[in-house]
């Protein structure tokens, strides 16, 4: 199987590891899906990279792939597709003033034309992190629209695969309550996979053990550390900033946050008033709450350990990465010394 080209620290590398995830996508390709598969995982865990690999796999299985990634770093990656549907795409694009302004709708439209015009096609739609752009409040309706593509297609298809990714905990619940999609959880990279990615980076670099303790297998944090000349402080500062860990938040939740920093499962079994804190931490994408049992069928690729306190993973709740936890710890410390 061909490995996708992935851009990492500005260089092009081959997709690394995630053998089980690859196998799972091959199974989707072999069988097709009966409802959209929503993949939810920490920010920066590697969803976009996995989707690029998924596109490669599905094309090898003869699928016409439509791939939308509205938040892609490079413009040319926002919308890509298998060349076999070039004419249809061109036609739709030509009929619209600014197709990129509604690229998610446009791709759904293209998908239904492909079903109508091609003879029993294999068709795949990959929607990478679309909810931030179309609005978290529309996560449910878009999932339903995608389910309708499967259940009430505009034409006959042979097989269909629809994958959607999200790192927004809020959308996980919204989608989950309707049973319009199958939700699988994806985690940061395993120690082995992460080691391989670390090996790609040139010397001098900190020891692997130290990087693992900070990033906990999150490839985005590895990339940020590298780009910021391995300054944990700089990367941490930026995270504290974007997560809005301000005095109001810290004053309100200080004591409970300290407990959660020591053991994230405190958020699972803590007192009632912790519930609103949990919601705030989910909204800020600092934690993953309600982590399912580590049964392979509930996960895409390898699940994390049952509990791994060193990198902030509890049985039911985990910090998205050790650095997310460290951002909270550091902010608390600084708040106390004001």
Ligand X SMILES: Nc1ncnc2c1ncn2[C@@H]1O[C@H](COP(=O)(O)OP(=O)(O)O)[C@@H](O)[C@H]1O
Which residue number, 68 or 257, has a Cβ lying nearer to Mg ion? Answer: 68
Q: Which does 45 bind (CB under 5 to 8 A by kind): Mg ion, ligand X, none?
A: ligand X
Q: Which does 17 bind (CB under 5 to 8 A by kind): Mg ion, ligand X, none?
A: ligand X
Q: Which is nearer to ligand X, 18 or 174 (CB)?
A: 18
Interatomic CA distance for residues 87 and 160, integer angstroms: 20
Q: Which stretch binds ligand X (CB under 6 A): 10-18, 23-31, 103-111, 281-289?
A: 10-18
Q: How far is the CB of 73 from ligand X (least distance, A)?
A: 8
Q: Which of 7/154 has CB closer to ligand X?
A: 7
Interface with ligand X in residues 44-83 (CB under 6 A): 44-49
Q: Which 96-155 residues touch Mg ion, going by CB under 5 A?
A: 129
Provide the minimum distance between the beta carbon of 122 and ligand X in the complex, in angstroms, as a whole number.
Answer: 25
Q: Residue 123 or 215: which CB sits closer to ligand X?
A: 215
Q: What is d(CA 259, CA 16) in angstroms, rounded to the nearest whole number?
A: 36
CB of 196 vs ligand X, minimal distance in Å: 8
* 3-state SS, residue 111: helix
- 219 in contact with ligand X (CB under 6 A): yes
Q: Helix or strand or coil: residue 65?
A: strand
- Taking the C-alpha atoms of residue 187 and residue 29, their distance in angstroms, rounded to an integer, is 22
What gap in Å lies between CA 179 and CA 201, rounded to an integer? 42
For residue 31, which phi and psi values (nearest 5 degrees)?
-100, -25
In the complex with ligand X, which residue's Cβ is closer, 168 or 265? 168
Q: How far apart are the first and last CA of the chain?
A: 56
Helix (H, G, I), strand (E, B) or coil at 48: helix
Q: Where are the beta strands (DSSP E) in the chain?
A: 5-8, 11-14, 37-40, 64-68, 79-81, 122-128, 159-166, 182-186, 287-289, 299-300, 317-319
| Residues near ligand X (CB under 6 A), total | 19
Q: Which residues contact 325 (CB under 8 A, 6 or more apart)?
A: 261, 264, 312, 319
Inter-residue contact 213 to 310 (CB < 8 Å): yes
Candidates 13-21, 55-63, 102-110, 306-314 — which segment interacts with ligand X by CB under 6 A?
13-21
Q: Which residue in the set 20, 26, 32, 43 belongs to the binding site for ligand X (CB under 6 A)?
A: 43
When asked if residue 314 is in the footprint of ligand X (CB under 6 A), the reply is no
Residue 166 engages Mg ion in binding (rule: CB under 5 A): no
**CB-nearer residue toward Mg ion: 18 or 47:** 47
Instruction: Name the site residues for ligand X (rule: CB under 6 A).
Output: 6-8, 13, 15-18, 43-49, 197, 219-220, 223
């Amino acid at each position: 199987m061909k490995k996708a080209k992935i851009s990492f620290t500005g260089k092009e590398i081959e997709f690394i590891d995630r053998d089980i995830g690859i196998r799972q996508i091959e199974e989707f390709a072999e069988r097709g899906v009966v409802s959209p598969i929503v993949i939810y995982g920490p920010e920066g865990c590697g969803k976009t990279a996995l989707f690029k690999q998924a596109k490669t796999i599905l094309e090898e299985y003869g699928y016409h792939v439509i791939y939308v990634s509205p938040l892609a770093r490079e413009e040319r990656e926002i919308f890509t597709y298998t060349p076999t549907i070039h004419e249809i795409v061109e036609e739709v694009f030509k009929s619209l003033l600014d197709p990129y302004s509604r690229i998610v709708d446009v791709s759904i439209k293209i998908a239904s034309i492909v079903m109508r015009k091609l003879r029993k096609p294999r068709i795949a739609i990959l929607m990478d992190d679309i909810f931030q752009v179309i609005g978290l409040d529309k996560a449910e309706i878009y999932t339903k629209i995608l389910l309708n593509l499967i259940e009430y297609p505009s034409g006959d298809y042979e097989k269909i695969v629809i994958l959607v990714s999200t790192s927004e905990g809020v959308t996980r619940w919204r989608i989950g309550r309707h049973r319009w999609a199958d939700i699988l959880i994806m985690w940061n990279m395993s120690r082995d996979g992460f080691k391989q990615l670390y090996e790609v980076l040139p010397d001098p670099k900190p020891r692997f053990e130290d990087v693992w303790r900070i990033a906990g297998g999150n490839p985005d944090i590895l990339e940020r550390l590298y780009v910021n000349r391995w300054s944990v402080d700089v990367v941490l500062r930026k995270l504290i900033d974007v997560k809005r860990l301000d005095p109001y938040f810290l004053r309100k939740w200080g004591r409970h946050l300290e407990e959660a920093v020591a053991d994230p499962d405190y958020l699972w079994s803590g007192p009632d008033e912790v519930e609103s804190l949990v919601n705030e931490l989910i909204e800020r994408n600092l934690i993953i709450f309600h982590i399912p049992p580590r049964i392979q069928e509930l996960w895409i690729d390898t699940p994390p350990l049952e509990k791994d306190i060193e990198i902030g993973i509890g049985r039911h709740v985990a910090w998205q990465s050790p650095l997310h936890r460290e951002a909270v710890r550091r902010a608390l410390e600084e708040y106390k010394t004001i």
